[in-house]
C-alpha cells in the first residue's frame, strides 16, 4: 500500500473517531477537531513570519473559539464584520477590534460612542467621505473621538494597448490610488472627532482564490507585484495627513506574500483555522480540515442512494458546485447532481451509499468557514482523547449580525 493510501486511511479513521465521539449527540451537528484547529493556528502564525495575526470573526462566529485563539502567541486582535458585533465583543472584553466594512446602522454607531471602552477598542472602516458623514449624522456633532481605518481597493485591473482594464477581484472600496487615498485622509483630518489610525488592503483575488490553473497563478503573481508597489505609494500619501498605527493586509491564502512587504504591520486570517473546502488547493500550504457537520440518514430510496436529514448549508458567492458542502465520511460518497444539498433532505450516492442504513451518520465539510455556524446553535469541540466540549455559536448566544 502506497503512502497516499496510508494517509487516506488515517484521515478516514480519524473522521470515524470524530463521529464516534459525538454519537451521543443529536444531528444535525457541527463539529470542530480541536487538534486540527490548534495545528492550523500554529501554521497561520508560522506563515505570518513574525507579524501579528488578527482573527477574522466572520470565519469563526464562535466567541469562545475567538477568545481562546487570541490567547495564543502570534495572534493580536480581531477583524469583525458588523459594528453591532464589534460593540458586543468589546463589551465582552475584546480590546483590539478592527471593523472590516463601513457601518451605516445608526443604533450601532450610537452604541459605539456611548461608552469609552468601546471607542477605545474599536476602529471603524471608511472608504469615502460619505462613510464619515453617515457616522456624523448618527453620532451627532461634537461626538467623542472615533478611530477609523481606510479600506483600499486591492483588485487587479490589467489593461493592454488602451483596452479598458478587466476587474479581477471583489467589489469593495472606491479608493484605489494614492491620490484618492490622500483625498479621504485629508477629509478625515478636516473633520473633528476622527483619527485615521490605519489602512486595510484585502487582496481577495489572492487570499481567496485556490491555485487551480496557470492563469490563476499568473493573476496572483501580478496582484502581488501590483500591491507591493501600490501599498508603498498609498502609505506614503496617507502619511501626509495621518500618523498611522497599523497597515493591515492579507487573508488565509496570502499571508506569505503580505508578510514579505515591509510596510505591512499586521495580517488577518480566519478561514485558516477551520479550513473549509475552498482552501483545499493552495500551493503555499496544505489544508488541514478542522470543521465538519454531521447528518443522519433517514431514507433509503434506492440501493445506491441514502438520504440525510437537512444539510442545505450553501456557501455565499456565485452559485456553483464549489459552494456546496462535501460528504467526506464514509469515503466514496457524493451529492447527486439533481438535488445537491437540500433544505430538509440531502441525498448522497456513490459506492459507500450502498452500505449506509437508516440511522447511520454522514460527515460533511462546508465550502466556507464561519457560515456553517450560522446554521447551528452549538459547536462540539472534539479533543484528541475523545472528550467533547460543547460551546455556543454566535447564533446560540442569540446573536445574528447579518
**Would you say residue 402 lies in a domain?**
no
**Would you say residue 141 lies in a domain?**
yes
Q: What is d(CA 239, CA 245) in angstroms, rounded to the nearest whole number?
A: 11
My answer on whether 93 and 20 are in the same domain is no
Give pLDDT tens digits for 139-159. Answer: 998 899 999 999 999 998 886
Domain residues for 353? 3-28+290-397
Q: Could you tell me the pLDDT band of residue 133, with boundaries at 50, 70 and 90?
A: very high
My answer on whether 250 and 334 are in the same domain is no
My answer on whether 66 and 18 are in the same domain is no
Q: Which three cell numbers stand for residue 182?
A: 490622500
Does 6 have pLDDT greater than 80? no
pTM of the model: 0.93
My answer on whether 218 and 129 are in the same domain is yes
Q: State how far the alpha carbon of 288 is from the alpha carbons of 71, 77, 265, 399, in Å.
A: 21, 23, 27, 29
My answer on whether 194 and 218 are in the same domain is yes
My answer on whether 73 and 143 are in the same domain is yes
My answer on whether 72 and 160 are in the same domain is yes
Number of domains comprising the chain: 2
Q: What is the per-residue pLDDT for 22?
A: 98
Q: Which helix (H) or strand (E) holds 222?
A: helix 214-238
We report the CATH number of the domain holding residue 307 as 2.40.37.20
Q: Please state the separation of Cα 51 from the chain's center in Å.
A: 18
Q: What is d(CA 393, CA 122) in angstroms, rounded to the nearest whole number?
A: 22
Give pLDDT tens digits for 157-201. Answer: 886 655 667 887 888 899 999 999 999 999 999 999 999 999 999
My answer on whether 240 and 303 are in the same domain is no
Q: What is the per-residue pLDDT for 317?
A: 85
Give pLDDT tens digits for 215-248. Answer: 999 999 999 999 999 999 999 999 999 999 999 9
My answer on whether 85 and 174 are in the same domain is yes
Q: Which of 160-164, 204-208, 364-368: highest mean pLDDT? A: 364-368
My answer on whether 20 and 42 are in the same domain is no
- Sequence-distant (6+) residues with CB within 8 A of 290 are 32, 33, 36, 37, 40, 273, 274, 275
Amino acid at each position: 500500500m502506497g503512502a497516499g493510501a496510508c494517509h487516506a486511511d488515517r484521515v478516514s479513521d480519524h473522521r470515524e473517531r470524530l463521529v464516534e465521539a459525538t454519537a451521543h449527540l443529536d444531528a444535525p451537528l457541527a463539529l470542530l477537531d480541536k487538534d486540527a484547529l490548534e495545528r492550523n493556528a500554529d501554521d497561520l502564525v508560522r506563515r505570518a513570519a513574525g507579524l501579528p495575526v488578527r482573527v477574522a470573526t466572520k470565519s469563526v462566529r464562535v466567541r469562545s473559539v475567538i477568545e481562546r485563539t487570541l490567547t495564543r502567541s502570534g495572534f493580536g486582535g480581531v477583524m469583525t464584520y458588523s459594528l453591532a458585533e464589534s460593540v458586543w465583543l468589546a463589551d465582552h472584553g475584546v480590546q483590539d477590534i478592527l471593523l472590516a466594512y463601513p457601518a451605516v446602522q445608526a443604533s450601532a454607531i450610537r452604541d459605539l460612542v456611548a461608552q469609552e471602552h468601546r471607542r477605545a477598542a474599536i476602529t471603524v472602516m471608511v472608504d469615502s467621505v460619505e462613510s464619515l458623514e453617515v457616522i456624523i449624522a448618527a453620532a451627532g456633532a461634537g461626538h467623542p473621538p472615533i478611530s477609523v481605518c481606510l479600506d483600499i481597493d486591492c483588485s487587479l485591473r490589467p489593461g493592454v494597448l488602451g483596452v479598458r482594464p478587466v476587474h479581477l477581484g471583489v467589489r469593495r472600496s472606491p479608493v484605489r490610488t494614492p491620490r484618492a487615498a490622500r483625498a479621504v485622509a485629508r477629509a478625515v483630518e478636516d473633520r473633528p472627532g476622527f483619527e485615521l489610525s490605519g489602512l486595510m488592503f484585502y487582496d481577495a483575488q489572492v487570499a481567496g482564490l485556490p491555485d487551480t490553473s496557470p492563469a490563476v497563478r499568473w493573476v496572483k503573481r501580478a496582484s502581488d507585484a501590483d500591491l507591493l508597489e501600490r501599498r508603498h505609494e498609498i502609505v506614503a500619501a496617507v502619511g501626509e495627513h495621518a500618523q498611522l498605527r497599523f497597515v493591515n493586509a492579507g487573508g488565509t491564502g496570502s499571508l506569505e506574500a503580505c508578510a514579505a512587504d515591509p510596510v505591512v504591520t499586521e495580517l488577518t486570517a480566519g478561514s485558516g483555522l477551520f479550513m473549509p473546502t475552498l482552501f483545499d488547493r493552495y500551493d503555499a500550504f496544505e489544508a488541514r480540515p478542522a470543521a465538519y457537520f454531521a447528518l443522519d440518514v433517514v431514507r433509503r430510496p434506492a440501493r445506491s442512494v441514502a438520504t440525510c436529514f437537512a444539510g442545505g448549508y450553501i456557501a455565499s458567492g456565485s452559485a456553483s458546485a464549489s459552494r456546496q458542502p462535501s460528504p467526506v465520511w464514509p469515503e466514496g460518497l457524493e451529492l447527486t447532481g439533481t438535488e445537491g444539498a437540500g433544505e430538509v433532505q440531502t441525498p448522497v450516492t456513490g459506492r459507500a451509499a450502498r452500505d449506509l442504513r437508516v440511522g447511520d451518520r454522514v460527515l460533511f465539510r462546508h465550502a466556507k468557514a464561519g457560515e456553517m455556524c450560522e446554521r447551528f446553535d452549538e459547536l462540539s469541540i472534539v479533543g484528541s482523547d475523545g472528550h467533547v466540549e460543547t460551546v455556543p455559536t454566535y447564533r446560540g448566544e442569540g446573536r445574528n449580525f447579518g
